[in-house]
Homo-oligomer: A and B are copies of this chain.
Amino acid sequence: MKLTQTLKLSAIAMGLSLSTASAMAAAPSTPIVSSNITKEEVLAAQKAWGDAIVKISATYDKKGIEKAKKLAAGIIDDTYAYDMGPVLFKPTLAPLPVNIRTTKEGALSYFVGDNENFPSDGGFALKGWTDVESKNAAVQLHGKTAMTIGNVMFTDSKGKVTTVDKTWGYIKDDEGNVRIILHHSSLPYSTN
């Protein structure tokens, strides 16, 4: 654990929170250690994921599949917690029996395809996405983990919007990074 800087920042954030001019007046310099995720960190993690998808799409368009794969691999390392153990990841377009991707290999294949173990993967992040917007229905904060549910809207290069139902679970690691431990995405149910 190398939390010193992260937690000092965290302490500042908490020290200033909402609250309590009076409490702060009474205890102006009390150091705070917090292992909790904040709502702001959750929203930032959602935005970072969407930005990453757009970036992979752009990299694929401009620089080809190898650069896109390398970028995606780094993004998965940074944003998912696969080094912690199995991630609970059900991607939008992943059919049975490869519907759940508890390993990094499965996640990478979903985003950039080109893996014979997952022949149905076309590379979700290669589809020319230009914008990703998140809309949360609710957020839950439980210590170092958080969960959200809502919709995410993907816009492609023609302006067409695809909406998915999306659930996220996050964990804050010892370095203060918020990482994905759960990601269930699905196309909205339709009777058509």
Contacts and interface: CB of A to CB of B under 8 A. Distances in A.
A143 interface: yes
Interface string A8-35: 1001011111111001001100111111
Given A31-B86, A96-B188, 17 more contacts: A1-B175, A17-B18, A19-B40, A20-B43, A33-B141, A36-B141, A86-B140, A92-B189, A99-B189, A142-B144, A147-B147, A167-B167, A167-B184, A169-B169, A169-B182, A173-B174, A184-B184
Could you say how many copies of this chain the assembly holds?
Answer: 4
A141 B184 contact: no
Contacts of A89: 149
A32 B86 CA distance: 8
B188 A95 contact: yes
Contacts of A90: 149, 165, 167, 186
Interface of A: 1-4, 7-8, 11, 13-20, 23, 26-27, 30-36, 38-40, 43-44, 81, 83-90, 92-96, 99-100, 102, 120, 135-145, 147-151, 163, 165, 167, 169, 171, 173-175, 179, 181-182, 184, 186-191
Contacts of A169: 140, 147, 169, 182
Nearest to A34: B141
B142 A184 contact: no
